Amino acid sequence: MQIDIEAERKEILSRYKNLIKACKRRLGEGDKEMIRKAFEVAVESHKEMRRKSGEPYIYHPIAVAQICAEEIGLGPTAIVCALLHDTVEDTDLTLEDVKGLFGVKISQIIDGLTKISGVIDNTASIQAENFRKVLLTMSEDVRVILIKLADRLHNMRTLEHMKRDKQVKIASETLYLYSPLAHRLGLNTIKSELEDLGLKYTDEEAYNDIANKLKETEPERKKFIQKFIEPLNEILQEQGFNFKIYGRPKSIYSIYNKIKNKAVPFEEIYDLFAIRIVIDTPYDQEKSDCWKVYSIITDFYHPSPERLRDWISTPKSNGYESLHTTVMGPEGKWVEVQIRTVRMDDLAEKGYAAHWKYKESAAEKENQLEGWLKKIREMLESPDANALEFIDDFKLNLFSDEIFVFTPKGDMKTLPSGATALDFAFDIHTKIGEQCIGAKVNHKLVPLSYELKSGDQAEILTSGKQTPKEDWLGYVITARAKSKIKNALKEQRKKIGEKGKEVLEKKFYKAKLDFTLQNVNDLCNFLKLPSSLELFYRAALGNVDTKEIKEFIKYKENPKKRAPKKSDAQKIEQLVTNARGSSNMLVIGDDMQKLDYNLSPCCNPIPGDDVFGFVTVDEGIKIHRVNCPNAVKLLSNYAYRVVKAKWTNEHLISFLAGIKITGTDELGIVNNITKVISNENHINMRSISFDTDDGIFEGTIMIFVHDTKHLSHLIDNLKKVKGVNAIVRIDEK
């Protein structure tokens, strides 16, 4: 294909002009020149490069800078960094060059955006290590993560040009890490788009199904919204409010989650949209005006008392402020109404980046952001070597709802929903957490594991003799408490390990074995222990006896062939080539060979499902469904251990699948269901269990089917049985 260089050059310049237009308002003296310089450096550095779509690579950094300026509202420093974000990683430009051209601050941010290069131990998660690096720089400058989110958003928008396996990996990583982060930083619009695009590439069928149904029901929805809004419009105008009122559809991803988690069909989800009322009012009147609007709405429509959420008096920790209520609208439908001001709406959509506009409330929000970044710094300081564990803990606190708990003196603490008395103790101070023996909640004595509710007043009871225990890790959900408990346990293990070292030295001496580092490491490998610290710890507890040391000496004298150690983790290529077998249902790897594999019990894949292979350390290749509950984590953290897998249709083999049926308890319904399964579809059942409660039945059936088509056909036939309301596929019983 002939490339028109001149046309491309014009297009690059036109995109650059649009970028300058988008950030014009925030340009100070010398800023335009600095952005121009960054643009020229980026064009020069990427001049030979093209994207998977065939377009010049420079389109990407310009698009990321455009998102930073237009959709997040960042200033000139971030725009320069966005233009240069891939130069150090992908071109000859070094960090030193960037520092010389643009100064220390910009080179620091670029460093945070540059992936860790070089080979990391093959059992580690490169993704988790890179993410930890981003967070390290982010705890010093939050712009790192905002640019990273803009970069990710553009990559997701252009994901159709990637190969299928890459699409699934990138989309999973987005759902696992980036959309929770966008949520935590209050970037609601970006969070929703990342989630919807993530779903589009991990479960395309579900995405298209919901998107089509939303399109089909749109006219009907618009009519209903109009009917709901009309009387409110009139009275709000009469009362002299300057306002906008409109219906906003919920995101495809949030509808998908409702269908999946609550097992309700699309047709039965009542809150497919929310009505939003945005009023333009001075800062000092915001609260009273929002409540006035609430009062007007509830004069017209009955509110549901349990569904009132006041995030104006106590904003969420990501800065979100709004008043939510659910009211009974026309046609007997519940409708969610969100009431907020222009300032609140701006902050809700653009998050922390919008704060430069609103000086009055910015200081308070800055403190909240600072508090959160401080927590991240603390977590990063913890000497935990396992980046993946760190990411898991970190994630825990990104997406959870919040509760407000009071100290005995009336200070309010914000904790994630599900937090316990022990979490609260660690939130106050590490020492109080470590010495916690219980708590008084609302003046009643409760255990460490007691789950707190919003509005509780808690007093922590401590004892100088108390120390953290292993089972405490099951009592806490906050990342702070988890990392503090792990650190304390490590310290305890270290102390016990020191005693164990002396015990082991004596045992070596008795067995006439030199107590050298080499011998200690060899014994660790012989006993399949992860480290010498674990060996010393076990020795202190009396779990390493003389018999094992004698066996070790025998082994040293005559080493038998042993299984490869964990640390010798083979490269995927070797594992894949060594795993040749006689299987003929799946083809695996880039060259689509037939290899041995195991079907993963966590999601029971069957032919026709979208699947991938995961190379495990000791169980060969395991096959998972792309929408398996564990897939998002595996694909985002261990992308380098994932191999392509595709079903071939050579033989009709039966696979186990599970379905859950709910409905009303009609006479003979179980008989009718089993008849459909065995007579009409010639399917064997492995197990069946039915439970009825007050006229409602729920049944779980494990059946053997050939593929997804076979299963869908069965589900369609079962839906015709009188009394059956809903059928969902389940992963396991």
Cα separation, 692 vs 666, in Å, equals: 11
Distance CA 462, CA 470 (A): 18
**Cβ atoms 581, 595 nearer than 8 A:** yes
Is the separation of the CB atoms in 310 and 323 below 8 Å?
yes
Residue in 4, 40, 44, 89 annotated catalytic? 89
Q: Which residues contact 346 (CB under 8 A, 6 or more apart)?
A: 354, 357, 358
CB count in 10 Å sphere of residue 569: 17
Please classify residue 650 by burial: count the beta carbons closer than 10 Å to its beta carbon, then call 0-12 exposed, 13-18 middle and 19+ buried.
exposed
Distances (CA, A) of 382 to 376, 378, 496, 654: 10, 7, 20, 49
> Can 90 be counted among the known catalytic residues?
yes
By three-state DSSP, how is residue 691 classified? strand
Residue 724 CA to residue 202 CA, distance in Å, equals 29
Burial class (CB in 10 A: 0-12, 13-18, 19+), 83: buried
What one-letter code names the amino acid at 109?
I
DSSP 298-345: HHHSEE-GGG-EETTTS--TT----EEEEEE-GGG-EEEEEEEEHHHH
Cα–Cα distance for residue pair 427/421, rounded to 1 Å: 10
SS3 call for 494: helix
**Alpha helix ranges (H) inside 544-603:** 546-557, 572-578
Which among 90, 384, 451, 731 is annotated as catalytic? Answer: 90
What is the Rg, in whole angstroms, of the alpha carbon atoms belonging to the chain? 30
**Distance between CA atoms of residues 9 and 202, nearest Å:** 36
Can you tell me the distance from the alpha carbon of 344 to that of 105, in angstroms, rounded to the nearest whole number?
31
User: Quick one: which H or E segment has residue 722?
Assistant: none
| CA dist., res. 140 & res. 147, Å (int) | 14
Q: Is 615 strand, coil or helix?
A: strand
Place of tokens 């640390």: 567
The answer to whether 89 is a known catalytic residue is: yes
Angle between helices 188-202 and 164-173 (to 10 degrees): 140
CB of 596 within 8 A of CB of 575?
Answer: no
CA distance 562 to 646: 34
Helix (H) or strand (E) holding 523: helix 517-526
Q: How far apart are CA 34 and CA 77, in angstroms?
A: 9
Block residue for tokens 């009322």: 277
End-to-end CA distance of the chain: 54
SS3 for 293?
helix
User: What does the chain come to in residues?
Assistant: 733
According to DSSP, the residues that pair with 404 across neighbouring strands are: 414
Rounded Cα gap, residues 670 and 594, in angstroms: 41
| Positions marked active-site | 89-90
